[in-house]
Amino acid sequence: MTSFKGVFVKEFFIRLAKDEQGQDLVEYALIVAAVGLALITTVNQLSSAIVSLYSSITTGLASIGTGGA
Specify the higher pLDDT residue, 28 or 2.
28
- Does the pLDDT of residue 1 top 70, yes or no? no
Could you read off the pLDDT of 24-69 as tens digits, one per residue? 788 889 999 999 999 999 998 899 899 999 999 999 888 887 765 4
pLDDT of residue 24: 78
Which amino acid does the sequence have at 52? S
Confidence of residue 20 (pLDDT cuts 50, 70, 90): low
Domain boundaries, the chain: 23-69
| Interatomic CA distance for residues 51 and 46, integer angstroms | 9
| Interatomic CA distance for residues 13 and 51, integer angstroms | 53
| Interatomic CA distance for residues 41 and 60, integer angstroms | 29
